[in-house]
Structures are given as structure tokens and as C-alpha cells.
Amino acid sequence: MDVWRSALAFLLMTLACLMPSFAQAQEARFGDENIAVELRSDGPPVPDSTWMLALHFTPKSAEWHGYWSNPGDAGQGMSLQLNLPDGWEAGEPLYPVPQKLLISGLMNHIYEGEYAVLVPVKVPLDAAVSNIAPITGFVSYLACTDKICVPQDATLRIDEGGDFRSWQASIAPQLDRIAGYEVVRDRLRVGIPLPAGMNLGDVHLFLETSDFGSGLAPDYAAIQTIVREGDLMVVEVPLKRRAGFDASPLPERIAGILSLGGGQGVSFTAVQRDVPLEGVKAIRGPVEIPDLWVLLLAALVGGLLLNIMPCVFPILSLKALALAKAGGDEISARRDALAYTAGVVLACAGLGAIIILLRSAGEQVGWAFQLQEPRVVGALFLLAVAITANFLGLFQVPGMAIAGGRPSMRGSFGTGLLAAFVATPCTGPFMALALGAALVLRPIEGFAIFTALGVGLALPFLLIGFIPSWRRRLPKPGAWMERFRRWMAVPMGLTVLALAWLIWRIADDLWLVMLGAVSLVLLALLASLGQRQKRGRGGGKLFFAGIVSLAIFALSIVPPPEPRTLAQSSMLEPQDFSETALAEARASGRPVFVWFTADWCVTCKVNESVAIEREDTRDAFERAGVVSLRGDWTQRDEEIATFLARQGAAGVPLYMWYPADGDGRQLPQVLTPETLPALAQGQSR
């Protein structure tokens, strides 16, 4: 008994010591000077009913704002305690639709001006409402401007009255149907049942749930992708992974508010289930998505412009040969043009289909993703070696000879395949918008866009094949064609060197040496094939097929290289891109320039030499205090691929400019020497 008495005495003493702190916790320490608060009731309580209370917040001036229950990247939600009679139950607070506030890359969920948070209280049937003591409470919250934040708190005492009709109208009503959600790699996909006839404004999903297990949290500042079909709206929110979190399952339910614009919105609850994207129409993504016919036209023009972009120069020799071959009779010219077009379109459409399938499976890939794989680059290297040898006359490929003979549709088809495949490192004007949209549209629409790109790339040759007046302006076939073919070995030889350099950049030195040895064996076998052809011996096609098989076998048995990316020096001394580095740079209050490049992207290298790696750019950046970040996508990088997807970019180059006091924007994919200095000078004023 003495032991129990001692324990009880200790417990009572402990509670006695804690009582002052409890009492002190109910006393306001900071006050509500910046955003005043009052507790109101919608009339007196009635037994066996829901009694509505309201916390009415009034900022002292327009610069002050409060926060939603989930404040976003910064801020603090409201904490409320109500002293209710026994048996009375306070429900979850009901909030109006919040607003977005983006400061230095941080997204905050706020309220500007007066606002009210409603609190439903369930009054029991046997409540003695006439004998209850006055309802009191305590609330703490945060009041902020764009520059400072001040904690606020207040001791509450209830008063009747208030504009409950207006306050109730501003609350986001709860959907009467349960929504669904799923997490696909690093993206949250929420399917919300919403009537098709509902008018939409600036749609945005505010998530009340902030933890999705395993360290995954919403990237509030990222661009949300929104698609719709009938009564289903699907919102995709990028997720980011926070360090230091143990593996934990996804929550059974999530909640939030879907803002429909103009202060209107709906509250929702979602459970885990499959959220389909097939058959839905995109209404907004990382970029505003135009109509499909506009995107098809942009893809067509983008493919056409690829013919003059510097990244396509290594394959201009192949196109020149096709032009020369089109100088024959009309039927042959048309067949040749159609075969070449079929090869180009098949390559672009096939590559687009692979990208769409991989992205549907959750892989973060983009245009020219195949050049991030060393074995693919190795195959291109050996192919370029063989083409260079062909141009030098070391051997002949049936159907690709240009000095006499009948044009081969098979050779033209192969030329089209190769031309499109080697052109994939490039994205140019019009093309970026089309390909970015193709990755968020329905698969059939995305496939149509990639097909239109191929048609645009092949269009000049198609027109030459079908317009006799254009063909008549071409030089007549003759001995000059053989000399021309040998001269075309120069750009193809430069392509070989460029691919060797790329292999050295993305793989180890041993791998490059082994590929060099394979190429020497390949040249020896091709030279032997050329001797057989000169002597008129048969079996050339079989011999050639054996050489191709040997090259494929050599690539398959060469051990995979150790991935590496050698750092390149830059006059701007950029930091390596990461989401964290970008957030820190923007939080510094300085302008930020981010560029995404790759060693296989010729357009990227041209832009760097023309506009980025210049003394004028460096000096202008230093005067304006610009922070530079560089994302190298030479090899696969999930974080870079995710960021590119958020910006609606199908590949590199991508250039982003973040002013010191505003939202970021994309720059053109072709930069001029004045582009970056002008932006920096605008920040220096």
C-alpha cells in the first residue's frame, strides 16, 4: 500500500507542477495585432444538431496573409483548442479555397484579406444548452508578409452573429463521391469525379496530405499536369524525396481542395486505386497545350527546320546523295522519295512509340534517350566508320551507289532510317512544343505528332521526288558524283571522331580502345568485301550480312563500361543542377540561370559557344549576381529527366531564367549572343 500511496503522491505532485504550464499555454503571448481573430457562432446551440462556429480573421493591412491547414513549402497552419462541455464534439475545421504564393521557388498556400474558418460542433441530444458556461478557446497561427513572419495567438470567447451566409459560401464543399489516387514512381496521380459541364478557371490541386511514405512529399512549386475526359479529371503532382525517412506505406486516404479558379473549389477525399490516363484529353500541363492540329503543324514545321539545324549537319552527306540520285527518271525519283520518306517516318514514329510506352511504364526518358546508352553510341560509331569507308570507295552497298545504276528503294529506305536516327539529338523551334505535348496527350495523339515530325524531316526530298521542275534544277548525273561522294567522307569522318569523343565521355578508356579495335577489324573485312566486288565475285550480300552480324556480336560481348561523366570547365562556373541547388539559389534572392545540355546535343554545343561561354555573358552575370546551374544529361539522370518533363520539354537543350523577384520562364532553344547579357542587365537596374 505504501508503494501505491507513494506513486499516487508522485503523480499528483507531477500534475500540480504541470498545471501552471497548462494554464500558461492558454494565455496569449504574441497577440493578434497583425491579423486579428474573433470566435463567432451562428446563433445559440440546439440539442441534437450541428452548431456552426467561425474563426474570423482580419489582417490589419493588405500586405499580411494567413495560411491554410497545409501551408505548403513554408509557413504554419492554425492550431485550435476549444473548451466544450462534456459530450460536445468539434469536427475538422472547414477552410475556404486557398491561394498560391510563390516566393523564391517556394510555394505557399495562403489567404489574403479577410477570411473565416468554420468549425462544426455536434451538440448531443441531452445537452443542457441553457445552463452551459461561455465557450472559450485558444488559437495560434502565423501572420506573414512577403518579407517577415510573426507568430500570433489569442484567447477566444464566443460571440453570436457574423456573416455566416458569406462565410459558408466561401467554404470548398465536399464532393459526394470518393476520388482515387495512385503514385507512379515520382508522380502523384489523383482522379477526381467532376461533372463534365462544370466551368473551369485556373485549376490547381491543394493537397492537405503532406507525407506519402518513404520520404515522398508533394513538390508544391512544380507544375501540375491536368487532363480531363467526361466526368473524370486527373491531376498529376510531381513528388520529391526527402532524405532521412524510413520506408513506410502509402496513406490509405488523402485529402485536399481542388481550386477551380475565382475562389471556387471542392474538397475531396481519395483512396488508393488505379487512375487511368488513357482516353483523357489534356487541358493543361507544364505548357499550355494547343489544339491537336496546331501541334501537328508545329511538329511538321519543326521536322522541316531540322534539315537546316546544325545538329543535323553530320547526316547532310546522306541527304546530298539522295538529292543527287533524284536526278534520274520520274518514276525512279518518286519511288526513291517515297522509300526515303518511309524510312524517316518509320524511324520517328517508332522512336516516338518507344518513348510513349516507356513513359507509360514510369520511365523518365525523352527525345534522343537512346544516345545515353553506350552500346547504342558504339553501334552508331561502327556504322559511321562503315559509311565513311563506303564514301571513300572502299566497298559498295547495293542500292546506295550513286555513279550509274538503278536507284534502290531499299537503299533509300535505309538512308531515311539512318537520317532520322542520327537527327534525334536535336530539338529546334516549334519542335519543342509539339514533342513536349506529345508526352502528356493520349498515346494515339502523341504517336501522330511523332509521325508528323518524320514527315516534316522528309518533306524536302518528298517534294523533289514529285515536282519535276525542282528536279530539273539539280545538277545532271555524271562523273562529278563520284568525286562528291568522296568529299562527303569528310563530314562523316568528323562524325566518327565526334562519336569517339562521346564514347570517351560516357564510358571508360578501355571500352573506347576495344571499340577502336573492333572498328579496325570491321574496316579490314569491308576492304576484303570491296576487293571481292571489284573482281565480280558472287556472295557479296552474304559476306556483307556476315560482317554486320560480326559487328553486332562484338558489341554484345564487349563488357558494359563503367558509367562516367567528365566535368567540363565553364566561364560561368556553374553548380551541378539538382532540385535542392535550384531551391537554394532561388532562396538567395539572386537571379538564376539554368541550362540543360548533353555531349551528344550539337545544338547545345552551338548555343554554348555562341551565347553562354562568352566573356560578355560572364561579365554581365557577375555584375547582376546571377547564379548559374548546369544539368548534364549526357547520361541518364532521373532528376533532370523529371525536371524536363515538368517544363514540357521532350529533351535538351532547355534554358530557364529565374529573375530575382518573379516566376521562372523558358528561353528559346536557339540563343543569340545578346540573349543572356540582356536578361542580366535587366536585373542590374
Instruction: Please give the full DSSP string across 125-190, using - where no structure is assigned.
Output: TT--TTSPPPPEEEEEEEEE-SS-EEEEEEEEE-EE---HHHHHHHB-PBPSS-EEEEEETTEEEE
The H or E element containing residue 285 is: none
The H or E element containing residue 19 is: helix 2-25
Residue 2 has pLDDT above 50, yes or no: no
Higher per-residue confidence, 64 vs 439: 64
Count, residues in the chain: 685
Residue 676 near residue 620, CB atoms below 8 Å:
yes
Chain-wide mean pLDDT for the chain?
79
Mean pLDDT of 480-509: 79
What per-residue confidence (pLDDT) applies to 268?
94
My answer on whether omega of the bond before 468 falls inside 30° of 0, hence cis, is: no
Distance CA 610, CA 604 (A): 10
What per-residue confidence (pLDDT) applies to 327?
53
What per-residue confidence (pLDDT) applies to 321?
57
Mean pLDDT of 205-223: 86
The H or E element containing residue 427 is: none
Residue 217 near residue 242, CB atoms below 8 Å:
yes
What per-residue confidence (pLDDT) applies to 70?
93
* pLDDT range class, residue 289, cuts 50, 70, 90: low
As a whole-number percent, the residues of the chain with pLDDT over 90 amount to 24
16 CB neighbour count, 10 Å cutoff: 9
Residue 326 has pLDDT above 60, yes or no: no
Mapped onto helix, strand or coil, the DSSP state of residue 22 is: helix
- Helices 675-684 and 615-624, axial angle in degrees (round to 10): 20
- Among 499, 506, 510, 503, CA closest to 388: 499
What secondary structure does DSSP assign to 535-602, as a single string? Answer: TT-S-HHHHHHHHHHHHHHHHHHSPPPPP-------TT-PEEP-HHHHHHHHHTTS-EEEEEE-TT-H
As a whole-number percent, the residues of the chain with pLDDT over 70 amount to 79
Q: Which amino acid is located at 361 in the chain?
A: A
Mean pLDDT of 173-190: 87
Mean pLDDT of 311-332: 59
The H or E element containing residue 69 is: strand 65-72
- Among 121, 110, 105, CA closest to 78: 110
Mean pLDDT of 663-683: 84
Residues pairing with 107 in the sheet: 102
| Pairing state between β 592-597 and 627-632 | parallel
CA distances from 81 to 25, 84, 232, 312 (A): 10, 9, 38, 67
Q: Torsion-angle region of residue 215: left (phi > 0), alpha (psi -120 to 50) or beta?
A: left
What secondary structure does DSSP assign to 648-666, as a single string? Answer: T-SSS-EEEEE-TTS--EE
Lowest average pLDDT, out of 110-124, 312-326, 623-637, goes to 312-326
Distance CA 461, CA 124 (A): 82
Higher per-residue confidence, 341 vs 568: 341
* pLDDT range class, residue 283, cuts 50, 70, 90: very low
Q: Which amino acid is located at 423 in the chain?
A: A
| Pairing state between β 654-658 and 665-666 | antiparallel
What per-residue confidence (pLDDT) applies to 605?
81
Q: Long-range contacts made by residues 559-562, C-beta under 8 angstroms, separation at least 24?
A: 559/511, 560/374, 560/375, 561/374, 561/506, 561/507, 561/508, 561/510, 561/511, 562/507, 562/508
Residues pairing with 159 in the sheet: 40
Residue 350 has pLDDT above 90, yes or no: no
* pLDDT range class, residue 369, cuts 50, 70, 90: low
Q: Which amino acid is located at 214 in the chain?
A: S
Residue that is written with C-alpha cell 477552410 in the block: 95
- Helices 480-487 and 316-325, axial angle in degrees (round to 10): 170
* pLDDT range class, residue 401, cuts 50, 70, 90: very low
Hey, which of 6-15, 41-50, 372-381 has the most confident mean pLDDT? 41-50
Residue 315 has pLDDT above 70, yes or no: no
Mean pLDDT of 368-378: 76
User: In this structure, what are the phi and psi dihedrals at residue 411, rounded to the nearest 5 degrees?
Assistant: -65, -40
**Cα dihedral value 178, 219, 437, 267, nearest 10:** 30
The H or E element containing residue 256 is: strand 253-261
Mean pLDDT of 628-655: 80
Residue 16 has pLDDT above 60, yes or no: no
What secondary structure does DSSP assign to 347-377, as a single string? Answer: HHHHHHHHHHHHHHTT----TTGGGGSHHHH
Residue 481 near residue 403, CB atoms below 8 Å:
yes
* pLDDT range class, residue 312, cuts 50, 70, 90: low
The H or E element containing residue 384 is: helix 374-391
User: In this structure, what are the phi and psi dihedrals at residue 562, rounded to the nearest 5 degrees?
Assistant: -75, 120
Would you call 222 exposed, middle or buried from its count of C-beta atoms within 10 A (0-12, 13-18, 19+)? buried
Would you call 660 exposed, middle or buried from its count of C-beta atoms within 10 A (0-12, 13-18, 19+)? middle
What per-residue confidence (pLDDT) applies to 25?
42
C-alpha cell at 532: 571481292
Residue 17 has pLDDT above 60, yes or no: no
User: In this structure, what are the phi and psi dihedrals at residue 564, rounded to the nearest 5 degrees?
Assistant: -155, 155
C-alpha cell at 396: 559498295
> What contacts 72, CB < 8 A, 6 or more positions away?
106, 107, 108, 109, 220
Distance CA 516, CA 527 (A): 17
Lowest average pLDDT, out of 21-25, 90-94, 288-292, 604-608, goes to 21-25
Per-residue pLDDT reduced to its tens digit, 581-621: 887 888 788 899 999 988 877 778 878 888 999 999 999 99
- Helices 292-305 and 443-466, axial angle in degrees (round to 10): 50
Distance CA 642, CA 428 (A): 20
- Among 222, 185, 233, CA closest to 73: 222
| Pairing state between β 225-229 and 216-218 | unpaired
Q: Which domains does the chain have, with CATH numbers?
A: 35-170 (2.60.40.1250), 179-284 (2.60.40), 292-557 (no CATH), 575-684 (3.40.30.10)
546 CB neighbour count, 10 Å cutoff: 13
CA distances from 73 to 148, 239, 268, 574 (A): 15, 13, 21, 26
Mapped onto helix, strand or coil, the DSSP state of residue 206 is: strand
The H or E element containing residue 282 is: strand 281-284
* pLDDT range class, residue 14, cuts 50, 70, 90: very low
What per-residue confidence (pLDDT) applies to 436?
66
C-alpha cell at 506: 560516357
Higher per-residue confidence, 291 vs 263: 263
> What contacts 421, CB < 8 A, 6 or more positions away?
347, 351, 380
